[in-house]
Amino acid sequence: MRQRILLLVAFIFMGSNVRVSARPNEADTHFDVFKGSFIESLWELYPTWASSIGYHKFDALLPLPDAAQRNKELAFCKSNLAALRKFKVSDLSDANQTDYHLIENQLLSTEWGIKELRSYEWDPSSYNVSGTFAEMLANDYAPLDQRIRNFYARMAAIPDYYKAARKNIQNPTLEHTELAISQNIGGLSVFESDLEDALKKSGLDDVEKSRIRARGAEAVAAIKEYVEWLKNLDNKHPRSFRLGKELYAKKFMFDMQSTYTADEIYRKALDRKKYLHEKMYATSLLLWSKYHRTSAPTDSTELIRQMIETLSADHVKPAEFQSAIEKQIPVLVDFIKKKDLIYIDPSKPLVVRREPAYMAGVAGASISSPGPYDKEGNTYYNVGSLDGWDSAQAESYLREYNKYILQILNIHEAIPGHYTQLVYANQSPSLVKSVLGNNAMIEGWAVYTELMMLENGYGARPHAPTADAPAEMWLMYYKWNLRSTCNTILDYSVHTGNMTKEEALKLLTQEAFQQQAEAEGKWKRVSVTQVQLCCYFTGFTEICDLREEMKKKAGSNFKLKQFHEQFLSYGSAPVKYIRQMMLR
Ligand code: ZN
Ligand code: ZN
């Protein structure tokens, strides 16, 4: 659940409708009614999930994470699976077929999570209320006084919430225990300074304010008590943070909804790593004499490392970071038009803005799009600034996001990556896809476009002798692509095998050319998440493979532009099902 919410906060996508005939058939009409009641009861069952995607009817509720709630969830899964299976998939429109699969996957995955995965027993970090409450104060979806009153009502359950949490926990992993302690402490300010700031701005009278403050203090006490309890837990036989082969294979199946198994994707990632290393070596050798007067290092890894170092020095000045990103957007659009790669709707230009204060510190760029219940909202391209960074910090960051990588980042986040995918998905909205959309498809598309743009010569100078992208661009692309490839190898090796921290750091720094700090961060992430790190490579691989299949099928009639437009027309559905429809 928590992971799901995090993904949803990052990208809220709308699905599409690719019905062949304009007139809905009877099965579709019935299915639409079923979907409506499914979503409404989903929100009733998960009121904090509902709030996080902008549905505020249940804002005053906070369900307890106890056995009664889990039984309610199981009953919900059972009855909705029965209702779902009354429909014959082949009777439905393409859009409803993919919705069917997404709903089915969600229900089966929930059942499996409660019965088999049982992370509510071993992951204490799954208990944390601060995010939900922080959003109620930060997001301006309703008048402040009303939001504070819901905040107050929802707070009432916090002490019982943490009591239920303590009852669930058995031999938790040390990693998730540590994470729970730091994240719950980090969230305290929501009920202290954040709440106090909101009260000052509100129109509530003093009596009501002090009642709210008192309940805020109870919430703080309950969270602190939970943290103390975790710190003193007599945990003689902690569970390993490694998921193990069997659970991993299942979780991969539910989270990725891929044509491939976890084992198959792992083997494909190993092959890709080998391919990238060969390409990087050849490209570095080619570039060496252009940049150096000395002879090239004989060790291939050292040669690649030094060449990457050399090219990383080509970066913008801190003050120009934002404008460099902004200036890129029209260049990308022009290139796509000139090469006829995909139709870009000119009526929906991307709104570039400086990242809002609550995102500050996360330099770089990201897309934020309105949720499915906020149709009037704008989609923004948030661009970070390096204001206030010390010069060493800024230099290291700018070397990482050098001239080449910055362009790849824009392709990924904006055009024709995430933003373009979003515009296509919005053409025929599906609430189911905006809530349960497939993350491997979404990330896979963005990663695929990086390769596709370079294949078509992106970055070549206007009068260059060949139309191929420059070797510098390719080398940095390979390094970038190696990151998602090695993320997959790391995740699989850690959770299904016994890859140690030392081995992991070696893989990331020596084979993927990452900085020590980045590699350490990745180790932390892999020890508290599972499968998530695979979504980029899995989706990318499936899209590349599908393109090859389509090329074979269409022969000389294959048109890249048509492939892209058809692929995106199905919305944020798993590539597995898009493939079935495209090959049909
Ligand atoms: Zn520099
Ligand atoms: Zn992405």
DSSP 31-83: HHHHHHHHHHHHHHH-HHHHHHTT--TTTT-----SHHHHHHHHHHHHHHHHH
Residues 6+ apart with CB under 8 A from 138: 358
Q: What was the pLDDT predicted at 335? A: 95
CA of 446 to the centre of ligand 2 (A): 6
Q: What was the pLDDT predicted at 316? A: 94
Q: Judge contact between 417 and 446, C-beta under 8 A.
A: yes
Q: What was the pLDDT predicted at 20? A: 46
CA of 445 to the centre of ligand 2 (A): 9
Q: Judge contact between 250 and 112, C-beta under 8 A.
A: yes
Give the closest ligand to the alpha carbon of residue 422.
2
Q: What is the DSSP secondary structure assignment for residue 114, as one 8-state letter? A: I
The C-alpha angle 40, 45, 47, rounded to 5 degrees, equals 85
Q: Where are the domains of the chain?
A: 30-117, 124-241, 258-583
CA of 480 to the centre of ligand 2 (A): 13
CA of 317 to the centre of ligand 1 (A): 8
Q: What was the pLDDT predicted at 462? A: 65
pLDDT string in tens for the chain (584-residue length): 333 433 333 333 333 344 444 456 999 999 999 999 999 999 999 999 999 989 999 999 999 999 999 999 999 999 999 999 999 999 999 999 999 999 999 999 999 999 999 999 999 999 999 999 999 998 889 999 999 999 999 999 999 999 999 999 999 999 999 999 999 999 999 999 999 999 999 999 999 999 999 999 999 999 999 999 999 999 999 999 999 999 999 999 999 999 999 999 999 999 999 999 999 999 999 999 999 999 999 999 999 999 999 999 999 998 898 889 889 999 999 999 999 999 998 888 888 888 776 665 555 788 888 788 877 777 888 888 888 888 888 898 899 899 999 999 999 999 999 999 998 988 877 899 989 999 999 999 999 999 999 999 998 876 666 678 899 999 999 999 999 999 999 999 999 999 999 999 999 999 999 988 889 999 999 999 999 999 999 999 999 999 999 999 999 999 999 999 999 999 999 999 999 999 98
CA of 443 to the centre of ligand 2 (A): 5
Q: What was the pLDDT predicted at 179? A: 95
CA of 11 to the centre of ligand 2 (A): 9
Give the closest ligand to the alpha carbon of residue 313.
1
| Cα–Cα distance for residue pair 568/581, rounded to 1 Å | 12
| Cα–Cα distance for residue pair 577/574, rounded to 1 Å | 6
Residue 401 neighbours by CB distance under 10 Å: 23
Give the closest ligand to the alpha carbon of residue 395.
1
Structure tokens, 70:
């889990």
Q: What single string gives the DSSP state of each residue in 246-302?
A: HHHHHHHHHHH--SS-HHHHHHHHHHHHHHHHHHHHHHHHHHHHHH-SSPPPSSHHH
| Cα–Cα distance for residue pair 280/346, rounded to 1 Å | 37
CA of 395 to the centre of ligand 1 (A): 5
Q: What was the pLDDT predicted at 373? A: 85
Residues 368-401: pLDDT tens digits?
A: 887 888 777 778 888 888 888 888 888 988 998 9
Report residues near ion ligand 2: CB below 5 Å.
443, 446
CA of 404 to the centre of ligand 1 (A): 14
Q: What was the pLDDT predicted at 6? A: 37
Residues 101-115: pLDDT tens digits?
A: 999 999 999 999 999
Give the closest ligand to the alpha carbon of residue 312.
1
Give the closest ligand to the alpha carbon of residue 450.
2
Q: What was the pLDDT predicted at 584? A: 87
CA of 322 to the centre of ligand 1 (A): 17
CA of 26 to the centre of ligand 1 (A): 63
| Cα–Cα distance for residue pair 242/335, rounded to 1 Å | 45
Give the closest ligand to the alpha carbon of residue 316.
1
Which residues on neighbouring strands pair with residue 367, listed in sequence order?
Answer: 381
